[in-house]
Amino acid sequence: MPLQKDEVIECSIESLAFGGRGVAHVDGMAVFVAGGLPGDTVTARVVKAKKRFAEAALESVVTPSDRRVKPKCPHFGQCGGCAAQDLEYGEQVAQKAAQVENALRRIGGVEGFAMDAPAPSPVVWNYRNKMEFVFEQRADGLHLGLRANLPAGEKGLAPVLDIEECHLCARRDVEILRAAREFARASGLPAFDPSENSGFWRHLVVRHTSLNEIMVHVITGEETRHYARAEELGKALVDRFPDLTSFVHSSRARRSLAASGEKTVFRLGARAVEEMVEHDGRQARYHIGPNAFFQTNTAGAGELFGTVREFGGFTGTETVLDLYCGIGAIGIFLADKAARVIGFEISEEAVAKAWSSAKLNGLDNCEFAVGTLDTDANLKALPENDVLVIDPPRAGMHENTARAILELAPPKIIAVSCDPATLARDVKRLSERYELKRARAVDMFPHTHHIETVALLELK
């Protein structure tokens, strides 16, 4: 008899699925148990029953896994920022690597290859260089923190949890969070309400680089009559935290909940902060603006960029094409081992920082262009190259991009991805002309379900 909604079952957790849920089998059916860890025997309540699988919420742990550990954070279980603090770190990495391999085989249709040993994060706690905190207005007042963890089976926008402690970022970042929350509450101005598309305070983004430069970026609505309060927040934070490098106030009109500004309103201090990535004797420095994408784990970025460097087998004669290059992070890290680096990115702000970062490193063999990689005009203009590096957004490369790469046919492709499923799909798209040679899971996000992967494909 198939499982029924609200039925309570006992099962043994075998592994973790991508997303962090435990995987069990009951009468041959896969059951995804939120909160279950590999090695656990648990009771769980079915919250969704389908023909081929079921989803369940943990009721109790009958026999705990020997890989369970005590969570470090008092918010664990309530906060949605972490999903696996209760699983020993080595097992976290092993499970994530298995998820990558499973996706490449099952979705990518790849056989006959061996995964490289995964690369764990060099730093397991306080590793994040960027935190995106969100404001929320509720009946009991204004809140600022991270989204709570939604119970299994529930959908929608989780409420904001006023965190007082976080072990993913620097302590100073949490102190800044508390001060900003205190100021925003005292201001009397409401937080943004996405359902009404109204309200002022939207996001607080804190960047903290390995060189101890700190940028605070507050994002608000467009009500110009309230801009003075955001300026006052900046001055208050600079007074309280004199080590701040930069404060930026941006406005955002769009209803979407992205933590990025559309127009800079006010600035104190520097326009950008400086970051440095190191790996195996190579150092590269970067200018990072308020809206720029950069890997959130600086030490982990060294492992990631180092893996790209290793897979490329550079001799110093190669032309490298870096697609979705952002601020040029990977290309700049490779530039001392390449004859030429050419980067493409849709964001003008990011490309400007890529040029300034190349100059910061004394590089004269890098060039960057602004343009989308979805249209035929730009894709047909892509230059010939020896190594193509591609690090697309979570959704993966556009179908037009994959088609253009097949026509361009570079000898090597190094694909970087933060989603195993979309990476596997893209590998399959390229499989008519390319063979997957190596893949390595690189953990940039300890205690969460996220994982980066670097894959090497070579022209058949």
Under 8 Å between Cβ of 317 and 345: no
Residue 399, marked binder: no
Under 8 Å between Cβ of 268 and 246: yes
Whether 366 is catalytic is no
Residue 295, marked binder: yes
Q: Which residues are annotated as a binding site?
A: 295, 324, 345, 391
Q: Which residues are annotated as a binding site for S-adenosyl-L-methionine?
A: 295, 324, 345, 391
Would you name the residues annotated as active-site residues?
418
